[in-house]
A and B are shown apart, each in its own frame.
Chain A
Amino acid sequence: MTITEAPTAQRSKPLSKWSLYSRRYFRNIPATVALGIFVVLVLFAVVGPVFQKWDHIELDFLSLSDGPSSEHWFGTTNSGNDVFAMTVEGLRRSLMIALIVSTGTTVISAVLGGVAAYFGGWSERIILWVIHFMMAVPGFLIVALVTNGSGGNWFILAIMLVVIGWMTLARTVWTLSLSIRESEYIQAARYMGVGSFRIVLRHMLPNMASLLIINFTLGVVAAVNSETSLSFLGFGVRVPDVSLGTLIAMGSSVVTSAPWIFLFPGAILTLLTVSMAFVADGLRDALDPNSAAGGRA
């Protein structure tokens, strides 16, 4: 009986974590295109003011309610504001609110959900009660009331959107953390004497990183949508401050006579939400921790 040599599998070297993620992400064509669009939009918001010929509060009394021209690329409003400058300013404001809201909700729900699951007992009971109570409270109404009362301050709007927006994700984090809490490496860390907060921050949350990152991207979409809806109804950002929502509200009343006031901000808003959705989609595939491919793209 001869001992046959086990055939050594011709396996390529496992990729490093980041090149694996990026290779998986960039082979998804819609996600790559969407990331490109998103980068262009951010650049448009950041360096747009360099190209604009008019300031967003400047009035051009010689062209009221004019269509797009070489002087006013996106046309003007009926009081002579340059729509291009206003769109740049509005996009910047909307993006800023969306990033604050999405960061805030992700951080709060990650910490609270993780703490509730890891510590259990009283802290868990209190946090869960707060979550259930906040879910029953009419959130939209409260944001509208508070922002309306504050006179349309965009920062208060952002804070209020965080206050009513963190519960669902916190609950998801809580359920996931419950199962992670029982895994061996957490037990090991606990017996090694690692502090509780350190375990939550260094061992439990990184294991939910993919969930948190994807929810962050989707949170940006949700925040942009809430902000523009509230501003559209007059309960969010208010004149003289500009956001994409106030611009669309301005355009909606003259949608037949001056469609460009609605069309340009509307198109930019749609590009923003749709591209973020495709980025989230691509990230979901790229960061999938349960992928069967095992270290290969």
Chain B
Amino acid sequence: MTRRLINWLVIIVVSTNITYLLAWNFMDPRSNYIGRRPPLSPQQITDLLEPRNLSDTVPLLERWWTWLTNILLHWNWGVAPNGDSVNTQMAARMWVSAEFTGATLVITTIAGIALGVYTANRQYKTADRIGHFTSTITMNIPPIVAALGFVLIAIWINDAVGTTIFYVTGPVGLSSEHWWVPVLDTLHRLILPTLAMSLVGYATTHFLQRALLLDNISADYVRTARAKGLTKQRAIRKHALRTSLIPIATQIAFSIPVIFLGAVLSEQIFAWHGLGEYLVQTIGRNDVHGTVAIAAFGAFLTAIGALLADIAVVALDPRVRVN
């Protein structure tokens, strides 16, 4: 376990530093100030950028060292070219993203498992074929088209009914004396993006669960259970399903980075101010520190997901023993 932890730590550190160097290679914070009215002299730009550790007049190695020591000693991930603290942005947006994708993850997992079990029990029958056909279609609808399509339909329904049934944008920060007004508003605004993301997302789990359960239904130990007198339903539920859920648990653990970072496109389309939107903004604004912070956070979450997946396998699978 310690070896795994160290291994992941090395990967996080190396990939973060590489992203830092790459970001400097392709981003130029100075260019944000070119073309300002009134124009700024190169010296003025340098004076603005230098205290933020974003000036290209300082050698790259020195910039890198300042950036690294700030993180290691003060847990300070630096500032954007306009002076915003990266720490504050990350801390706030992280939870917006989690709110945004949490419900989708739950829905896709439950719907996927349920459909997978249902169709595996009826392999090659009509229900299975219809499920396979529709899931192939929904899985391959491009997420952008699905999101924009839902926006169009929602606006059409709103117009037809005459009131706002669906909101197509994120929370606007309602202030009210009752705590539940903003919560309800957020939930209300979540309906449409959750529908759009669930539609394209559930099929992966469906196909995985179906394939896994089919493998296990024909396994010897399920036949033994049937021979001992269990009904087919009971044999599947007690024996085949339990083993086939293990890889699904692994898949859920690996989707942890997706919860916080995944919905770049949907956040952009539905105007939710989460980390996905932040990623697009940082690249557009030549915000080196913000971009690197997101990359580091992504690597960290991948590591957490991988470690949780290992733990899930050990906890659920009686065949695996901890060494």
| CB-defined contacts of A232 to chain B, threshold 8 Å | 144, 265, 268
Q: Which residue of B lies closest to A265 (CB)?
A: B145
Within 8 A of A (CB), among B119-177: 133, 136-137, 139-145, 148-149, 151-152, 155
| CB-defined contacts of B11 to chain A, threshold 8 Å | 133, 136
- Contact status A221-B140, CB under 8 Å: yes
The answer to whether B284 has its CB under 8 Å from any CB of chain A is yes
The answer to whether B295 has its CB under 8 Å from any CB of chain A is yes
- Contact status A278-B148, CB under 8 Å: no
What's the Cα separation between A190 and B314 when bound, in Å? 42
- Contact status B149-A138, CB under 8 Å: no
- Contact status A270-B145, CB under 8 Å: yes
- Contact status B265-A277, CB under 8 Å: no
Q: Which residue of B lies closest to A234 (CB)?
A: B284
Q: Which stretch of B16-24, B42-50, B67-75, B105-113 is in the interface?
A: B16-24
- Contact status B265-A229, CB under 8 Å: yes
| CB-defined contacts of A68 to chain B, threshold 8 Å | none
The answer to whether B114 has its CB under 8 Å from any CB of chain A is no
What's the Cα separation between A270 and B136 when bound, in Å? 12
| CB-defined contacts of B225 to chain A, threshold 8 Å | none
B284 CB to nearest chain A CB (Å)? 7
- Contact status B145-A266, CB under 8 Å: yes
What's the Cα separation between A276 and B137 when bound, in Å? 10
Query: Helix, strand, loop or mixed for chain A's interface?
Result: helix
**Contacts A138-B295, A145-B26 given: A269-B143 contact, CB under 8 Å?**
no
- Contact status B294-A141, CB under 8 Å: yes
**Contacts A270-B145, A274-B140 given: A137-B27 contact, CB under 8 Å?**
no
- Contact status B269-A252, CB under 8 Å: yes
Q: Which interface residue of B148, B269, B298 has the most chain A CB atoms within 10 A? A: B148
Query: Contacting B268 at CB < 8 Å: which of A146, A233, A256, A270?
Result: A233
The answer to whether A235 has its CB under 8 Å from any CB of chain B is yes
B214 CB to nearest chain A CB (Å)? 15
What's the Cα separation between A136 and B8 when bound, in Å? 9
B154 CB to nearest chain A CB (Å)? 10
**Contacts A141-B295, A233-B268, A233-B280 given: A259-B152 contact, CB under 8 Å?**
yes
- Contact status B283-A145, CB under 8 Å: yes
B323 CB to nearest chain A CB (Å)? 22
**Contacts A277-B140, A278-B136 given: A255-B26 contact, CB under 8 Å?**
no
| CB-defined contacts of B148 to chain A, threshold 8 Å | 248, 251-252, 255, 262, 266
Query: Contacting A137 at CB < 8 Å: which of B18, B136, B137, B291?
Result: B18
What's the Cα separation between A255 and B268 when bound, in Å? 14
* Binary interface encoding of chain A residues 113-155 relative to chain B, with 1 for a CB under 8 A from any of its CBs, else 0: 0000000000000000000010011101110111011000000
* Binary interface encoding of chain A residues 252-281 relative to chain B, with 1 for a CB under 8 A from any of its CBs, else 0: 100110010011001101100110111001
- Contact status B155-A256, CB under 8 Å: yes
A75 CB to nearest chain B CB (Å)? 15
Q: Which residue of A lies closest to B265 (CB)?
A: A229
* Binary interface encoding of chain A residues 10-36 relative to chain B, with 1 for a CB under 8 A from any of its CBs, else 0: 000000000000000000001000000
The answer to whether B82 has its CB under 8 Å from any CB of chain A is no
- Contact status A141-B291, CB under 8 Å: yes
- Contact status B299-A138, CB under 8 Å: yes
Q: Which interface residue of A137, A141, A149, A251 has the most chain B CB atoms within 10 A? A: A141
Q: Which residue of A lies closest to B12 (CB)?
A: A136
| CB-defined contacts of A145 to chain B, threshold 8 Å | 22-23, 25-27, 283, 291
| CB-defined contacts of A277 to chain B, threshold 8 Å | 136-137, 139-140
Query: Contacting B140 at CB < 8 Å: which of A234, A266, A273?
Result: A273
Query: Contacting A141 at CB < 8 Å: which of B136, B151, B155, B279?
Result: B279
What's the Cα separation between A259 and B155 when bound, in Å? 11
The answer to whether A177 has its CB under 8 Å from any CB of chain B is no
- Contact status A274-B137, CB under 8 Å: yes
The answer to whether A228 has its CB under 8 Å from any CB of chain B is yes
**Contacts A137-B18, A229-B265, A277-B139 given: A248-B144 contact, CB under 8 Å?**
yes
The answer to whether A225 has its CB under 8 Å from any CB of chain B is yes
What's the Cα separation between A218 and B156 when bound, in Å? 34
A99 CB to nearest chain B CB (Å)? 17
9 more A-B contacts (CB under 8 A) besides A145-B23, A248-B145, A267-B145?
Answer: A142-B22, A144-B283, A145-B25, A148-B283, A149-B26, A234-B284, A263-B152, A273-B141, A274-B140
Q: List 11 A-B contacts (CB under 8 A).
A: A136-B14, A137-B15, A137-B18, A138-B299, A140-B264, A141-B279, A141-B295, A229-B143, A232-B265, A232-B268, A274-B140
Interface residue ranges, A against B (CB under 8 Å): 30, 133, 136-138, 140-142, 144-146, 148-149, 221, 224-225, 228-229, 232-235, 245, 248, 251-252, 255-256, 259, 262-263, 266-267, 269-270, 273-274, 276-278, 281
Interface residue ranges, B against A (CB under 8 Å): 11, 14-15, 18-19, 22-23, 25-27, 133, 136-137, 139-145, 148-149, 151-152, 155, 264-265, 268-269, 279-280, 283-284, 291, 294-295, 298-299, 302
